[in-house]
Homo-oligomer: A and B are copies of this chain.
Amino acid sequence: MSEIPYKIYLEESELPDKWYNVRADMKKKPAPILNPGTLKPVTVEELSGIFCEELAKQELDETTPYFEIPEEIKNFYKMYRPSPLVRAYCLEKKLDTPAHIYYKFEGNNTSGSHKLNSAIAQAYYAKQQGLKGVTTETGAGQWGTALSMACSYFDLDCQVYMVKVSYEQKPFRREVMRTYGAKVTPSPSMNTEVGRKINAEFPGTNGSLGCAISEAVEAAVAQDGYRYVLGSVLTQVLLHQSVIGLETKAALDKYGIKADTIIGCAGGGSNLGGLISPFAGEMLRGENQYDIIAVEPASCPSLTRGVYTYDFCDTGKVCPLAKMYTLGSGFMPSPNHAGGLRYHGMSSVVSELYDQGLIRATSVEQTEVFEAAETFARVEGILPAPESSHAIKVAIDEAMKCKETGEEKNIVFGLTGTGYFDMFAYEKFNNGEMSDYIPTDEELAKSISQIPKFDI
């Protein structure tokens, strides 16, 4: 076998032709999403009022294992995919570990993260349906940036409701979106009924993701030829993100490498779900075993400290109900939490795989996450996003365990994006001003107790 290069690039011809739907291989499927009014499983027709029809179908399809990637999406993917699988030789040397560490780098596109993989798919289906545009919300701006790029490529109008505090404090993110032609509105705005209401009730409010979602949904429904799109949590998003895992698997196979440990950061589950899909599929079919680790922030520990139950997907309570690991839709991470991964729940697919024991989960604190990020940046030369650095932290921990045991494990982790727009957080860390906060049992119990008991 040839020596393993620093970067394993697949050829364009090795780009996956199909997305993989891990639900098809699950004997026990994730619980269906429910209409919050009727508490019955949502139909394609109902979903198609908010989402594009093709995406509504993908969302609800539990049995089709593979979905053909349309030619136009493949052509877009070719501009930045297959993305590199990097052997972290320098990190291994720094840690002096016998482990072999690999990372799948998804920050090699202007949007700077894996979010683009689904954004381009969602924009494509919107265009196919003859829509004029889409609406969405964004917090820190990774998803909004990716969607703006994708809409620009397909010449779709893109309306982004950006949480007001981010709009003001992250002007660079805002300007990237505008450069791609998106209309970026600070939320709450005066464009929507819900925005006007909140502005009247709380003058000068900073906004919240929950409010921005509600505005984006209202704007989509209010305009002819518009639909709402979302960058994580949904099962359609995991489907599109399976391209990460499929490429990772193909690159490892090319060099005859069998992964032992697979690590991904977990917020809504889009990256983790995409990365692990084909590996989890092999486990579900009894073909292989992997140690899969979901890493979440200790400040927002939905898998490690949440409950597995039906809950609202959004703070505004306008979206369908999903059964998932959740801290309650009212849960907000402490204000000192710097990175993303702030979602109160978790993708229903990831939740079910976790419940079935195919995934284990761990939580880490942000100071140790930034320490890992700094170590990684200094030797591997990539400045990682705080989100991605959760996976780095645990990859380093696992590699250090190998140092103790002498095991030559193959550790693979997802490096979801770059940290160029997170320098305020790095500054805090560099100045020694970063602190950690773990919610108390009482706080979590209070938030969880507010999840309604649905009569299902």
Binding site for B on A (CB under 8 A): 5-7, 9, 11-12, 75-76, 78-80, 86, 89-90, 108-112, 149, 152-153, 171-172, 175-176, 178-181, 373-374, 377-383, 418, 420-421, 423, 426-427, 429-430
Contact = CB atoms under 8 A, between A and B. Distances in A.
Contact of A110 (B79, B86, B382): B382
Contact of A176 (B90, B380, B383): B383
A175 B427 contact: yes
B5 A110 contact: no
A90 B421 CA distance: 27
A89 B7 CA distance: 25
B11 A175 contact: no
Copies, count: 2
A76 B378 CA distance: 12
A224 B9 CA distance: 44
Given A153-B381, A172-B420, A423-B172, A179 B79 contact: no
A82 B14 CA distance: 19
A110 B373 CA distance: 13
A426 B79 contact: no
Contacts of A109: 381-382
Which of A171, A373, A377, A381 counts the most chain B CB atoms within 10 A? A381
A341 to B, nearest CB: 20
A108 B110 contact: no
A20 to B, nearest CB: 23
18 contacts: A5-B12, A6-B12, A7-B79, A79-B86, A79-B90, A108-B108, A112-B420, A149-B378, A149-B381, A153-B379, A153-B381, A175-B423, A176-B383, A176-B426, A179-B373, A179-B374, A420-B420, A420-B421
B180 A377 contact: yes
Which of A5, A380, A420 counts the most chain B CB atoms within 10 A? A420
Nearest to A3: B12
Nearest to A425: B175
Contacts of A75: 89
Contacts of A380: 79
Given A6-B79, A153-B379, A426 B12 contact: no
A430 B381 contact: no
A86 B109 CA distance: 13
Contact of A418 (B110, B180, B378, B427): B110
A5 B179 contact: no
Contacts of A379: 152-153
A366 to B, nearest CB: 15
A9 B14 CA distance: 14
Contact of A78 (B6, B78, B152): B6
Contacts of A373: 179
Contacts of A6: 12, 78-79
A381 B80 contact: yes
A383 B426 CA distance: 22
B110 A430 contact: no
Nearest to A428: B175
A408 B322 CA distance: 55
A430 B178 CA distance: 7
Contacts of A418: 110
B78 A427 contact: no
Given A171-B427, A179-B430, 15 more contacts: A5-B11, A7-B79, A75-B89, A79-B86, A79-B380, A110-B383, A153-B378, A153-B381, A172-B423, A175-B426, A176-B426, A178-B426, A178-B430, A179-B374, A181-B378
A78 B5 contact: yes
A423 B171 contact: yes
